[in-house]
Chains A and B, each alone.
Chain A
């Protein structure tokens, strides 16, 4: 057994730390993330408050740990929802073609023509700003692009002779889709899912930034970044640490996604 690639180790380590922090943050944080303490307003990072405090004297480290759980959870659920829905639509339209394809894809293209964030904004205005509202809105906003990518992959796969061979063997359409089409879509899907995880994290931050995300005082990386804006001159750490969290998580996800894609492809094994 060879050691995994250095990229995979680095990516795995980053994601591991984020997950541990998120889990740990649910049980214990150095300070209460919501406790207001005006005596300790805008403290710079130091021995007591490792990453400093914000404008209400709340500990930044504690808030980041709590926010990790919220942000990662929201992104994960959103990506899962979008990938599942998009794959179903993509495989059905790409494999069955005909009217199924035309109707679903016309609808899909209409959604795609909307900027994702605008669509999410509109939906949130209707559903109301909360955690599950965000997941639903962002999930819906990202589904069309998944459907497009999967459909493209399926269109080329269905012309492959092994798909015809499956039909000749007497397999049903559903079995062919599940056994031959879907597994061969995994490579583009992992790449898409990992980069989408990043977009969702950013979109969630953007929505929180606009005040349509998870409502305060509950922290997310996005709304922490948003509220740091007015203090950027006096307290630079308020913006830097949430920003670093977002960037590092994205980096980790992308590295891990690359490694995962190679791992899942039998052609890349043992070469």
Chain B
């Protein structure tokens, strides 16, 4: 008789080989055939290591100290290397986080897909080709025949993740491990890929172990959720129960960290906007050399927007929508091809009068806290550098101001002498925020300031940001692809697609009554939260029944 249990992990312990530091501390769970289970946890929770151990793919620096992993009744640890290779791919497939690097860039798509099949299945070339073409069609590649002869770079991130999925599902594994499969993708694309993944695995009866930091994403597609924290499983349960009645404080903390809408703020009516953009056009030049010029690309097609004092305006859109380009153009980091940027009623341009004043009053917070701080400077000198252009302050005042702002962002003076690499991601982003506000600017551009952070850290940084904004009253252009975050922070929302503004309005209007199809598709990717009495949440998916959204998702 075939048992329904597919995988059972018992008391798995993993430790760093050199220091003996335990990173996975006695994890036990099991999965049935065809079941979809989510492992949720923040970075450092050991979720990825635990999942890799299932395939005996833990990194060389990590050693398994105890525990057993049984897959299909076989103990994985007892398998010979060749049996393990059979297990990988043929029985357990894996989809990685980064679609940009998980496909070999120098190998044709057709050959990459063929590799696994040729290795694990005894089929002729023609049969394999039929299977591959069929699978490519199923994952939504429009011209499968043509796709075989192309390279990975010719596809977008979402398409690559589909191809990755196709290559794994071709072998019809009994278990698919998906490690943050869509974290690198846009909200809309993310939903399409996940839906495809669930559909494909259902059809083949494949069980899925979905690893993610995003509780709401996992909740949508899984039957059961395992919550991990610091190497241990803190809670496990059926998805709906776990969300509605979380038992462990950490699960409650995760749920509480999910962005939610706050009551709309009163913004004093002002007479004139602080920043205005009129008919802004940006062209990217094509590749140029001595001998030829390639055609460029228009990134922004005549954008108009205005931002009032004290207002937080969110700019949302998928990748390639031009939102980052717009932010950079307003920050003066790239020169617009046409149009006008006005600050406090005056037209500004690099080198022109008033530019310096604008430069000092318009600051920027970048996305990646790991690359936005010079690794060779201390925190104190990093923040202080922003005060360099302020001759009216003397050295003492500057030092005092640096300490003051470090306290404001929740880091104390002792951090001033540390280097960025000694800080966590959240702390680094606090430093980046400190650097942006230390000069008391009137306007701050924040380009995806929290998308690189863990869920609970993200909630803290967002609170900090709202607090600072309230206290110092700067206006903000908040660029993000994450509508959940936008719903929490924005007063007004601007939706962009393909270099154009498609919809614009107050936050409540956009979130409750979106007009444009693209806005509705964006919104369909994030849940609306309802808090339950037990301290949990109920997730409501927007436009789930909307036929237009459904067809768009499957196009």
Contacts and interface: CB of A to CB of B under 8 A. Distances in A.
Contacts of A267: 375, 419, 421
Interface string A162-176: 101111111100000
Given A164-B333, A165-B435, A266-B421, A170 B374 contact: no
A183 interface: yes
Contacts of B419: 266-267, 269
Interface in B357-406: 359-360, 362-364, 366-368, 371-376, 385-386, 388-389
A261 interface: no
A168 B376 contact: no
B331 interface: yes
B360 A162 contact: no
A184 interface: yes
B479 to A, nearest CB: 14
B421 A166 contact: no
Contact of A170 (B366, B371, B376, B389): B389
Nearest to B363: A168
Contacts, number: 64
B356 interface: yes
A167 B333 contact: yes
A160 interface: yes
B366 A165 contact: yes
Of A160, A180, A269, chain B has the most CB atoms within 10 Å of the CB of A160
Contact of B388 (A171, A180, A184): A171
Interface residues of B, number: 28
Contact of A162 (B333, B373, B388, B389): B373
A164 B365 CA distance: 10
Interface in A113-145: none
Given A266-B419, A266-B421, A168 B375 contact: no
B333 A161 contact: no
Given A266-B419, A267-B419, A169 B386 contact: yes
Contacts of B422: 270
Contacts of B360: 170
Given A170-B356, A180-B374, A161 B389 contact: no
A102 interface: yes
Interface string B274-302: 00000000000000001000000000000
Nearest to A160: B371
Contacts of B435: 165, 169
Nearest to A269: B419
A161 B366 contact: yes
A169 B367 contact: no
A168 B421 contact: no
Contacts of B290: 102
Contact of A266 (B366, B371, B375, B386): B375
A167 B363 CA distance: 10
Given A160-B371, A161-B371, A164-B366, A184 B376 contact: yes
Interface string A47-64: 000000000000000000
Of A162, A171, A267, A270, chain B has the most CB atoms within 10 Å of the CB of A162
B38 to A, nearest CB: 32
Nearest to A102: B290
Interface residues of A, number: 21
A270 B378 CA distance: 14
Contacts of B386: 169
Of B372, B374, B375, B435, chain A has the most CB atoms within 10 Å of the CB of B374
Contacts of A160: 371-372
B375 A161 contact: no
Contacts of A168: 331-333, 359, 362-364
Nearest to B387: A169
Interface in A238-271: 265-267, 269-270
B343 to A, nearest CB: 14
A161 B368 contact: yes
A180 to B, nearest CB: 5
Nearest to A175: B388
Nearest to B435: A165
Contacts of B432: 165
Contact of B374 (A102, A162, A167): A162
A164 B333 CA distance: 7
A267 B376 CA distance: 8
Contacts of B366: 161, 164-165
Nearest to A171: B388
Contacts of A102: 290
A33 to B, nearest CB: 45
A102 B362 CA distance: 33
A162 B372 contact: yes
A161 B389 CA distance: 20
A31 to B, nearest CB: 50
Contacts of B372: 160-162, 165
Interface of B: 290, 331-333, 356, 359-360, 362-364, 366-368, 371-376, 385-386, 388-389, 419, 421-422, 432, 435
Given A161-B366, A169-B389, A170-B360, 4 more contacts: A162-B373, A165-B366, A183-B376, A266-B375
Interface of A: 102, 160-162, 164-171, 179-180, 183-184, 265-267, 269-270
Task: For the complex of A and B, list the 5 residue pairs with the smallest distance between their C-beta atoms, beginning with the closest.
Answer: A161-B372, A161-B366, A170-B359, A266-B419, A162-B374
13 contacts: A164-B333, A164-B366, A165-B372, A166-B374, A167-B332, A169-B385, A169-B386, A169-B435, A171-B389, A184-B375, A266-B376, A267-B375, A267-B421
